[in-house]
Every structure is written in C-alpha cells, then in structure tokens.
Amino acid sequence: MPDPRLCLEALSALLSPCSVESTPGSSQLSPQDLVNIVALKEFLKQQGFLELDYPSLGTMSLQDPDPDPDQDLYGPPPALTEGAPPGPRTTVKINPQDFFHPSFDYDFTHIKDGNRTFVRGDERYVRPCGWNRIALFVTRKYDDGNDSWLGTGKDAWPVSYQGHNMDGSLGIILTHSKDTDDEPGFLDAAAASLVSDQTKGRGVYSTPDIKMAEKYCKTFKSKVDGKTYKVVLQNRINPQKRRKCQRDNMWLVYVPEGLTEIETRALIQESIRPYGVLIKEV
C-alpha cells in the first residue's frame, strides 16, 4: 500500500473542497459515501446547486477552492464560482485501517495488457494499466452480504471509472437500448438530443475506458513526496441501472425528474459501488 498520507491526499482531491485527515477512531465516511459524494457533487453542479447536504458531514460547498495549477490540471474553471468566493473547507476524518483494504491493492504501473482481453459483468474490462490501485474495504459491506458484484462470474457488475466534470459537456447524448426500461424522462432526453447537440442526460456519468477517465481526472500535488498525481475512482456499476450513451465509452445512471435529494442518493447507492482509488504520477 502507498504511504497512507498519500492515500488521504488522493481522497482529499476527490472530495475537494473537503480535506481528509486520519483518525484512530471510526471513519466519518464509508467507501460508499465516497462515491455517493463524488457523484452527487457532479450531479448537483449540473442542476446549478452550490451546496450539498450529506449525513454526517452537514452542508458542504460545491465550489472548488481558488484555482491551483498543481491541483487540477484537467478541469475547466467552475462557472458556479464566478464572482463568488469559494465555500469553506470541510474536514473529514478517515481511519485508514477500516477504509482501505491493502490485501486487494494492485499496482498496474508497469503492466501492459496488449491484446489480452478481460471481462467483468459481460462487459470488456479495460484494466487501469499505468495506475496504482488503492483498494477500498467494501467486502461484506452490503445488506445482502453477497460479494458476487465484485467478482468475475455471471453476477459480477461491469467496471467503470469516474473522473471529474463528466457531465455530458462533450456532446454526449442518450440512446435507448433493449436492456433499459421505457422511462418517459429517459426517452424524452434521447428524443431531444436529435434536435439539439447540447442535450445531456440527467444523471451521473462514468466510463469503462480508463483513458477517457484520465482526460477528466482530478490532480493533486502531494505534500508527502512533492510529486503530482492524477486520481480516479474505480467502481462497479449495476447493469440494471446503467444507461448507455451514443458514445460507447460513456455510461449514465439516469436520475429521473422529481426525485428528492434523499431519493437521488439512494439511487446512486444502488447503482454504483466503489472498490478502488487509482493514482498515477504525472
């Protein structure tokens, strides 16, 4: 496992403007909370909100701190902060002992898969070659007690990667596929996309392509070793909740109109489960 302090810095980058610190007590957040917050931050920004209310954290700002070229090399300046000062930073306490799972760490830094093919959940798994995976403690953490979603068998969920500002701004539009339900809102968005290239699906985006995620990753300069790193979340995505986009390398968890914030959080929680934080030296 990399230096635990470096791991906490990676979490701070993902949860920005939160600052993550170590504690010998219980962690304030679980790995599932991590992906919930990352997803909710992006989704609520799409909707024009400036704050997120989250259990155990209270109200957190969605406005990034002042731009730092060493912190975020890929994301555009956040429009929501124009003319307004960044919100206060929230400190999050994490116990590395119950948050990370070093037994499942995997260093892909010097691995090249070439023509080798891997599959998870009947979808091609593009392994994160060039990255170092910090495993999260997610085994036996869900109500059904079944970890098959995390495996390689028929009940496994596909792998997706979550970057930063992956909100449809690249002209991503929705398509209807035979494995999705006929949700009126989803179909309306797809129909609208035929007449407007600005239409973007309402929800949470991720990608099965690590190279795409890298284009939209967060970066941070470590105070531990002085190096600059990219950071991405590695997740499993519920195949029943995932919607495919016109672009093959983008997936969407569609959030219907009218859901409350609690219902939206519940939808994300049943749709996306994290299992690794990926870091890569720039």
How far, in Å, CA of 4 to CA of 258, rounded?
41
pLDDT at 212: 92
pLDDT at 202: 82
Q: Is residue 60 in some structural domain?
A: yes
Q: Is residue 84 in some structural domain?
A: no
Q: Is residue 143 in some structural domain?
A: yes
Residue matched to tokens 């701070």: 12
pLDDT at 157: 97
How far, in Å, CA of 68 to CA of 83, rounded?
17
Domain span at 171 = 4-79+92-281
**Count of domains forming the chain:** 1
pLDDT at 237: 97
pLDDT at 75: 37
CA-nearest of 112, 105, 106 to 129 is: 112
pLDDT at 168: 55
Q: Is residue 110 in some structural domain?
A: yes
Q: Is residue 106 in some structural domain?
A: yes
Burial class (CB in 10 A: 0-12, 13-18, 19+), 206: buried
* CB-CB contact of 280 with 132 (8 Å): yes
User: pLDDT per position in the chain (282 positions), as tens?
Assistant: 899 999 999 999 999 888 999 999 999 999 999 999 999 998 888 888 899 999 988 888 887 654 444 444 333 433 333 334 445 568 999 999 999 999 999 999 999 999 999 999 999 999 999 999 999 999 999 987 789 999 999 899 999 999 887 765 544 555 444 444 545 454 445 444 443 444 467 889 999 999 999 998 999 999 999 999 999 999 999 999 988 877 778 898 989 889 998 999 999 999 999 999 999 999
Sequence-separated contacts (24+) of 183-186 with Cβ below 8 Å: 183/254, 183/256, 185/254, 185/256, 185/257, 186/243, 186/254, 186/256
pLDDT at 28: 95
How far, in Å, CA of 109 to CA of 281, rounded?
9
Q: Is residue 87 in some structural domain?
A: no
pLDDT at 198: 43
Q: Is residue 34 in some structural domain?
A: yes
pLDDT at 80: 36
Q: Is residue 174 in some structural domain?
A: yes
